[in-house]
């Protein structure tokens, strides 16, 4: 658990993650490990911000001299709106997770960070089933569509999946009535079900053992989704890989220095 500051009580520092809740975030530990590894004199802290107060909080941190901020749930959209220069990918994803406060610029490192974690993974097909239709599903769908994946989407509230598929101009037939993984080389759980320690209603007996089950969530124990996938003999990956890659890309964008990925990954173990 982090020491968490309310934004009005933020200490002098260089970088921060803002969210609500934010006490569980591993970003302070990961970025601090990177600074320590390279001997950089920076401080990275966790700051809680209420929904609707993101602009005021960012103005405050900017005035205090903060260089950059990572925005996490539920602030990625408000963070995007605060910026004057928005990367096209962040605009399309309607989510900015990395901001340069002094230049009021933002990018989205979730989508490229996610793709980076798939490099070198042997997937049995380029068909992907995405579970969930929230903000991170949007980023993952944009990332995978850009790489030519054939996409399927399932969400417990079907209308949200339909809206998202339409917004992203995905082909008809993308939205499924049930979470059927037939033919999928990759299944990505972007839902918050794991956060609530709940199972997602996947038709498990139609999944191939060569399929990669990927949960954006991470916890000390495997999430219910990954525990079930592992028990079926499937490949598994949790959200720490993506957390590290999106953090490494943010570090590089802020500092212009190659990120010490090994030190950052070790800090997450
Ligand atoms: P959103 O709130 O935008 O979306 C949540 C989605 O989860 C919705 O589709 C919702 O369905 C679904 N959902 C919630 N509870 C359940 C449940 N019990 N069973 C089935 N579906 C459920 O969240 P985000 O997309 O922003 O984030 C989702 C998760 O991804 C979070 O846990 C977050 O921590 C994680 N994440 C991890 C990252 C990393 O670096 N590892 C990066 C970004 C996110 P409905 O529409 O029906 O409500």
Q: Whose CA is nearest to atom 12 of ligand 1?
A: 191
In 3D, which of 222, 262, 216 has the Cα closest to residue 239? 216
Q: Whose CA is nearest to atom 31 of ligand 1?
A: 192
Q: Across residues 17-33, what is the average pLDDT? A: 96
Q: Is the pLDDT of residue 37 over 80?
A: yes
Ligand 1 mean position, distance from CA 131 (Å): 9
DSSP reduced 3-state for 197: coil
Give the start-to-end residue ranges of the domains of the chain. Answer: 4-108, 112-241
Q: Whose CA is nearest to atom 4 of ligand 1?
A: 134
Catalytic residue, from 67, 76, 152, 228: name it.
76
Q: Across residues 133-158, what is the average pLDDT? A: 96
In 3D, which of 78, 70, 75 has the Cα closest to residue 109? 70
* Ligand 1 lining (C-beta closer than 6 Å): 73, 110, 132-137, 155-157, 160, 190-193, 195-196, 198, 200, 216-217, 239, 242-243, 246
Q: Is the pLDDT of residue 159 over 90?
A: yes
Domain 4-108 CATH class label: alpha beta
pLDDT tens for each residue of 241-268: 999 999 999 999 999 999 999 999 999 9
Q: What whole-number distance in Å separates Cα of residue 211 and Cα of residue 123?
A: 6
User: What's the chain's average pLDDT?
Assistant: 96
Best probe residue, ligand 1, of 191, 199, 244 (max atoms within 8 Å of C-beta): 191
Token reading at 210: 């060569």
Is 76 part of the annotated catalytic residue set? yes
Read off the pLDDT band of 144 (50, 70, 90). Answer: very high
Q: Which residues contact 196 (CB under 8 A, 6 or more apart)?
A: none
Ligand 1 mean position, distance from CA 154 (Å): 12
In 3D, which of 71, 59, 13 has the Cα closest to residue 40? 13
Reply yes or no on domain 112-241 having CATH 3.40.50.720: yes
The per-residue pLDDT for 219 is 86
Q: What whole-number distance in Å separates Cα of residue 186 and Cα of residue 181?
A: 9
The per-residue pLDDT for 194 is 86
Q: Across residues 107-125, what is the average pLDDT? A: 96
CB 213, CB 189: distance < 8 Å: yes
Q: Whose CA is nearest to atom 33 of ligand 1?
A: 217
- Helices marked H in 83-223 — which ranges? 88-93, 110-118, 135-146, 158-167
The per-residue pLDDT for 196 is 86
Query: Among the atoms of ligand 1, which is closest to the Cα of residue 196?
Result: 18
C-alpha 9, offset from chain centre: 27
pTM of the model: 0.94
Best probe residue, ligand 1, of 19, 26, 129, 192 (max atoms within 8 Å of C-beta): 192
Read off the pLDDT band of 97 (50, 70, 90). Answer: very high
- Topology match between the domains 4-108 and 112-241: yes
Q: Which residues contact 104 (CB under 8 A, 6 or more apart)?
A: 62, 82, 83, 84, 85
The per-residue pLDDT for 195 is 81
């Amino acid at each position: 658990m982090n020491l968490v500051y309310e934004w009005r009580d933020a200490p002098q520092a260089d970088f921060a993650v803002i969210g609500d809740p934010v006490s569980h975030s591993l970003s302070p530990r990961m970025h601090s490990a990177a600074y320590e590894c390279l001997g950089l004199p920076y401080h990275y802290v966790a700051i809680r911000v209420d929904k609707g107060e993101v602009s005021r909080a960012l103005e405050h941190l900017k005035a205090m001299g903060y260089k950059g901020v990572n925005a996490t749930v539920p602030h990625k959209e408000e963070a995007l709106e605060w910026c004057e220069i928005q990367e096209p990918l962040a605009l399309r994803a309607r989510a900015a997770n990395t901001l340069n406060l002094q230049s009021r610029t933002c990018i989205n490192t979730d989508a490229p960070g996610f793709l980076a974690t798939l490099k070198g993974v042997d997937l049995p097909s380029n068909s992907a089933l995405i579970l969930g239709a929230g903000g991170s599903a949007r980023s993952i769908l944009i990332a995978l569509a850009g790489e030519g994946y054939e996409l399927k989407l399932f969400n417990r509230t079907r209308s949200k999946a339909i809206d998202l598929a339409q917004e992203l101009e995905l082909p008809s037939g993308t939205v499924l009535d049930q979470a059927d993984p037939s033919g999928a080389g990759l299944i990505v759980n972007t839902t918050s079900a794991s956060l609530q320690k709940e199972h997602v209603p996947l038709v498990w007996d139609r999944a191939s053992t060569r399929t990669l089950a990927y949960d954006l969530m991470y916890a000390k124990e495997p999430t219910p989704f990954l525990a079930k996938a592992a028990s079926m003999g499937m490949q598994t990956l949790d959200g720490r890989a993506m957390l590290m890659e999106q953090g490494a890309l943010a570090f590089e964008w802020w500092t212009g220095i190659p990120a010490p990925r090994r030190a950052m990954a070790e800090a997450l173990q």
